[in-house]
Amino acid sequence: MNRTQLHESIINNSQVTFARSGGNGGQNVNKVNTKVHLAIAITSLAGLTDAEIVRLRAKLSGIINKEDCLFLDVDDERYQERNREIALSRLESRIVQALVVPKKRIKTKPTRASKERKLKLKKIRSEIKKMRGKIW
């Protein structure tokens, strides 16, 4: 899935509601709905495979409700439109990050030289500790 397709899908299928927000803004906070509640059904995200949907549900389980919708609240700014933009970009980046599959770690063995260095250092340390003992 490409990012522009995801972006368009989020914009077209999300439900945005507004509420009164706390924080900065003085008396304006009490009369203007600037807080953004963004919700989108996972199944309405275009271009996702079944495996990607399962991965999304596992990674973003903290912001998914019982109706299988992703939820996000933003009240960072004083302006409704700016909060809406922030919410859309945050949701998009969370989805993209959740879909990234980490590379599998390839196990490696220590080289012969590193084993020899380790043994040499152990012998040196051993000698130092032996020299700390009492002289009979």
Fold of 3-99: Double Stranded RNA Binding Domain (3.30.160)
DSSP 106-119: PP----HHHHHHHH
pLDDT for residue 105: 93
pLDDT tens digit sequence for 26-85: 676 677 888 899 999 988 887 788 888 899 889 988 888 888 899 999 988 888 899 999
In the chain, where the domains are located: 3-99
**Which among 65, 64, 84 is positioned nearest to 73, based on CA atoms?**
84
- Give the distance from CA 128 to its chain's centroid: 49
Contacts of 32 (CB under 8 A, 6+ apart): 20, 25, 80
pLDDT classification of 124: cutoffs 50, 70, 90: very high
Q: pTM here?
A: 0.69
Query: What is the residue-averaged pLDDT of the chain?
Result: 87
pLDDT tens digit sequence for 8-32: 888 888 888 888 877 666 676 677 8
- Give the distance from CA 67 to its chain's centroid: 22
- Give the distance from CA 43 to its chain's centroid: 20
Distance separating alpha carbons of residues 121 and 123, to the nearest angstrom: 5
pLDDT reading at 1 higher than 60: no
